[in-house]
Amino acid sequence: MSQSYKFHLDGKKHEVSIIKCHPELTIAIDGISFAVKDFTRIAENYFSMLVNGQLKKIWWAQDEEAIYLRCDGRTYTLPYLDHISATQKATTNEDIIKATMPGIVVSVNCQPGSTVMFGDVLIVIESMKMQINITAPRDGEVESIHAEINSAFEKNTELIGLKAQQ
Amino acid sequence: MFKSILIANRGEIACRVIRTAKSLGIQTIAVYHHADRKAPHVKSADIAIQLFADTPTAAYLDSKQIIKAAQSSSAECLHPGYGFLSENASFAEAVEAAGIVFIGPQPDVIKLMGDKILSRDFAEKNGIPVAPSVTQNGDLKSFVKEAQKIGFPLLIKAAAGGGGKGMSIVHDVNSLEEQAKTAMGEAERYFADNRIYAELYIEKPRHIEVQVLGDGKGNVIHLYERECSIQRRFQKVIEESPAPSLSPQLRDSICAAAVNLSKKAKYLNAGTVEFILSPNDDFYFLEMNTRLQVEHPITELVCSVDLVEAQLIVASKQQIPWLQKSIKQSGHAIECRICCEEPENDFRPATGVIKVLATPSAIDARFDSGVEQGQVISPAFDSMVGKLICHAEDRTLTIEKITKALDELVLLGVSSNIDYLGRIIRSTKFAEGNIHTGFLTDNEEELKPTNLVQDEIACALLAASLGLDDFRSLAFDAPEPHASIGEWRNL
């Protein structure tokens, strides 16, 4: 029973593993044991359990990006590890600025060759009736612009390319 | 009363209108874009007619197709909801010209109130207090010069504006011209009308609005006020009625001003007159919304009325169903707007699929929504997906009730502001009632989520694991000898 599950929560990596199933289910979280009793499914996405004697009612859902929970009036998102590494890869490549959500280009405030500073508004997009400034992630020079005013784009579309740093 | 109604809208407001229409035995006709084909408003209407357009928004703005749908389904009247075509005078004219009753005011009243400059002048002319202001009539330089005379901070707005679009606060003369230019650009883009105006910005103002109902012949009643000061980016987040700590005299003056203005306009329909209230109890006319407001349910609960029914009654040329003296404020109501957004990320709109939607079990928590589990939240529409409304004997009890209701409201799969609303409602400052439109920015730090404690982290991780099928099968379905291997064997 050495299989462990890894989750990201609150910016940290955590490990969950089953220590034993009988006489009572004991699960280790980052090496600390917790007794889980009376696991009961209330509805399809709703269950309850006793954790160290305390009753917890949990709403649970997942999609390809994360597990979602609601417990004691608080909502939790636990992104899958492989998803996190994928997005991290995308954002650490600072030469390319991608759309984090679908939208429409409202204005373009730079052109190829423009020198920009960290935080400069490069383009303004509109998504769900809200205007959002897309700013430069670092100082640099704009190499390419893939955004035209009034054009629509999908999530992860490349919007602006910065000249690679030496 | 009408026999059939077409609802030229979508989402929660379409569902809301359908609910009342059905209760009155009126046949309901919905319109929809392909993206909404599975939406609740389509399912709940008696008839649903598809609109064709490149984008979902364009479909709900296509007046010709909508009027054609109304004619083909023999709708006697048309309810525009809010947003989209609800305050479009040409649309109202075209609907009436097609022989269909428009549930709204006369087109010229829509035009008058829809223009911030004209409506402000109209209010001033009729003795309603307005804030000092300057209008830009082409020449930017002289506008800047005149605007400076009012003093800073200044609020710049688009003449044709609404919903915070084209609005900005100018703190000093240096940025005035540039911000005026930006506002003109935004005004042009959103409203195809680049006229802007500047008015004195009241520090720590409250947003108080009055619900009115007019019959179009000069008879108008009010249904008291709503406090809508909890706003982010000039958009309301939490509304309540009555407004906390408003003296009876001030309440009467504000309500009387709203009624006077509406009478002078011979207003027909339910409408809202919005005011800015300064910390020293001066109030100024802001604008009039000639439609049903998002936050109308709090008035319905406090005054025990159905405003959609009232709209239909006055639109069918009947008398206003209530006398002013029979309208009483009873108890307190609070509404929270549920939006798919990321409050911790500058309220960025969130998209995705609603994997779980569970509504509060309390019988008297009202959840007006136009979404259901499994629905896709697309960037095509506004991020508001529903409204949670509670009513109780007083403000404290209402806060208690809505706190519990928010805790019970579950929306998973797409980020929402539910937890954020809970933190606002629970905050001591909200409970004290010292609210103004800068409340959320002023208390930004206190309204951030608290750090997770060890128990919360443990519970979340246990829950995350136990929700997974393969984890559960390891935990519960393991064969006995294997399962009991642990630190010790229970033989």
B231 touches chain A (CB under 8 A): no
Residue in the structure block whose two tokens are 């909200």: B430
Of B379, B407, B485, the CB nearest to A101: B379
One-letter amino acid for residue B317 of the chain: K
Is the Cβ–Cβ distance between B269 and B357 less than 8 Å?
A: no
pLDDT class for A137, splitting at 50, 70, 90?
A: confident
What pLDDT was estimated at residue A84? 43
**B123 within a domain of the structure (yes/no):** no
Q: Using the 8-state DSSP alphabet, how is residue B326 labeled?
A: G
Is the Cβ–Cβ distance between A18 and B480 less than 8 Å?
A: no
Q: What is the CATH number of the domain that holds B416?
A: 3.30.470.20
**B194 within a domain of the structure (yes/no):** yes
Catalytic residue among B195, B291, B366, B423: B291
Rounded Cα distance between B169 and B198, Å, is 9
Active site residue B189: no
**B329 within a domain of the structure (yes/no):** yes
User: What mean pLDDT is predicted for residues B338-355?
Assistant: 94
In a mutagenesis test of the B interface, which of A1, A70, A71 is the best target, namely the one with the most B β-carbons within 10 Å?
A: A70
Contact A51 B462 (CB under 8 A): yes
**B241 within a domain of the structure (yes/no):** yes
B94 lies in the same domain as B23: yes
B169 lies in the same domain as B231: no
Contact A75 B418 (CB under 8 A): yes
B467 touches chain A (CB under 8 A): yes
Tell me the nearest-neighbour CA distance from A149 into chain B, angstroms.
11
- Sheet of strand B4-7, all strands in order from the earlier edge strand to the far edge: B47-51, B27-33, B4-7, B77-79, B101-102
User: What mean pLDDT is predicted for residues B370-376?
Assistant: 93
Q: Is B448 left (phi over 0), alpha (psi -120 to 50) or beta?
A: beta
| pLDDT > 70 in chain A, percent | 88
B137 lies in the same domain as B246: no
B398 lies in the same domain as B487: no
**B468 within a domain of the structure (yes/no):** yes
Which residues from chain B sit within 8 angstroms of residue A26, using beta carbons?
A: 486
What pLDDT was estimated at residue B163? 64
B374 lies in the same domain as B229: yes
Which residues from chain B sit within 8 angstroms of residue A1, using beta carbons?
A: 474, 478, 482, 485-486
Can you list the domains of chain A with their CATH numbers? 5-88 (3.30.700.30), 93-162 (2.40.50.100)
- Number of domains comprising chain B: 4
Find the helix or strand (DSSP H, E) in which B392 lies.
strand B384-392
Contact A61 B356 (CB under 8 A): yes
Which residues from chain B sit within 8 angstroms of residue A27, using beta carbons?
A: 462, 465, 475
- Sheet of strand A74-79, all strands in order from the earlier edge strand to the far edge: A4-9, A12-20, A25-29, A32-43, A46-51, A54-62, A66-71, A74-79
Contact B382 A129 (CB under 8 A): yes
**B122 within a domain of the structure (yes/no):** no
Of B419, B457, B478, the CB nearest to A75: B419
For A60-66, the CB contacts below 8 A with 24+ separation are A60/B356, A60/B412, A60/B463, A60/B464, A60/B467, A61/B355, A61/B356, A61/B412, A61/B413, A62/B355, A62/B467, A62/B468, A63/B352, A63/B353, A63/B355, A63/B413
B97 touches chain A (CB under 8 A): no
Q: Where are the alpha helices (DSSP H) in B192-295?
A: 248-264
Residue in the structure block whose two tokens are 């002078």: B264
Whether residue B162 has pLDDT greater than 90: no
Contact A5 B465 (CB under 8 A): yes
Whether residue B97 has pLDDT greater than 60: yes
| Domain limits for position B8 | 4-103
Find the helix or strand (DSSP H, E) in which B270 lies.
strand B268-277
Whether residue A43 has pLDDT greater than 50: yes
User: What mean pLDDT is predicted for residues A60-74?
Assistant: 93
Whether residue B23 has pLDDT greater than 50: yes
Which residues from chain B sit within 8 angstroms of residue A102, using beta carbons?
A: 351, 378-379
What pLDDT was estimated at residue B484? 44
Q: What are the Cα distances from residue B205, in Å, to B4, B81, B299?
A: 43, 28, 22
Highest mean pLDDT among A99-103, A136-140, B109-113, B357-361: B109-113
Give me B25's structure tokens: 């035995």
Which residues from chain B sit within 8 angstroms of residue A58, using beta carbons?
A: 459, 463, 467
Contact A20 B478 (CB under 8 A): no
B218 C-beta neighbours (distance < 10 Å), count: 13
Q: Which residue of B has its CA nearest to A38?
A: B476
**B399 within a domain of the structure (yes/no):** yes
B43 lies in the same domain as B190: no
pLDDT class for A92, splitting at 50, 70, 90?
A: very low
What pLDDT was estimated at residue B184? 87
Is the Cβ–Cβ distance between B5 and B47 less than 8 Å?
A: no
Residue in the structure block whose two tokens are 């490549």: A93
Rounded Cα distance between B386 and A94, Å, is 37
pLDDT digits over B396-426, tens only?
Answer: 999 999 999 999 999 999 999 999 999 999 9
One-letter amino acid for residue A137 of the chain: P
Q: Which residue of A has its CA nearest to B351?
A: A101
User: What mean pLDDT is predicted for residues B317-336?
Assistant: 97
More confident residue, B191 or A35: A35
Last residue of a domain, which of B144, B172, B200?
B200
pLDDT class for B182, splitting at 50, 70, 90?
A: confident
B413 touches chain A (CB under 8 A): yes
B88 lies in the same domain as B141: no
Total-model pTM: 0.84
Last residue of a domain, which of B183, B200, B217?
B200
B243 lies in the same domain as B147: no
B263 lies in the same domain as B352: yes
ipTM: 0.84
Q: Encode B70-103: b = buried (16+ Cβ within 10 Å), e = exposed.
A: beebebbbbbbbbbbbbbbbebbbbbeeeebbbb
Give me B367's structure tokens: 């959840």
B284 lies in the same domain as B388: yes
**B110 within a domain of the structure (yes/no):** no
B270 lies in the same domain as B139: no
Nearest partner of B78 among B138, B159, B176, B4, judged by Cα: B4
Last residue of a domain, which of B182, B200, B218?
B200
Tell me the nearest-neighbour CA distance from A95 into chain B, angstroms.
22
Contact A61 B355 (CB under 8 A): yes
Count of CB contacts below 8 A, A vs B? 182
Q: A58-62, A93-97, B443-447: lowest mean pLDDT where?
A: A93-97
B177 lies in the same domain as B213: no
Q: What is the CATH number of the domain that holds B177?
A: 3.30.1490.20
